[in-house]
Amino acid sequence: MGIKWKDVKLGVSPLTQNIYIGKIKPMGGSDGLEVWTDKSEDKTNDVLRAVVEWFIYLKEYDDKSKFSLEANGKEYTVSFSVKDLGETNE
C-alpha cells in the first residue's frame, strides 16, 4: 500500500514553530483547527534548504528574486539576493 499524497501535509507547528511533514485531521468544531495524526521529525532545515535552492533556480532561469503570497488579508513578500563570497560591502 503506497502513500496517499493527498493526505500528506507540510505544515508549521504553532507550538514549536518547527516544520513537519505528516497527516492531519480536523479537530471538529467551527474554528478549523487541525491536529497531527502522524508526522515526521523536524524538517525545518530541509524545507528551508529546498526553498533556497528553489530561489536559486528562479534567479538563474527566470531572473526573479521575490515571492509573494496572500494570507489573512495581508500580502507577504520574501526577497532573495545573491552576493559573491569575495564581495565586500564598501
- Could you tell me if 83 and 76 are in contact, meaning their C-beta atoms sit under 8 angstroms apart? no
How distant, in Å, are the alpha carbons of 9, 51, 66, 81 from that of 55? Answer: 22, 6, 8, 9
pLDDT digits (tens, 9 = 90+) for 22-66: 988 888 777 778 888 888 999 999 999 998 898 888 888 887 888
pTM: 0.67
Report the distance separating Cα 69 and Cα 77, nearest Å: 7
Give the domain ranges of the chain: 5-39, 44-79
DSSP 10-43: EEE-TTT--EEEEEEEE-SSSS--EEEEEE-S--
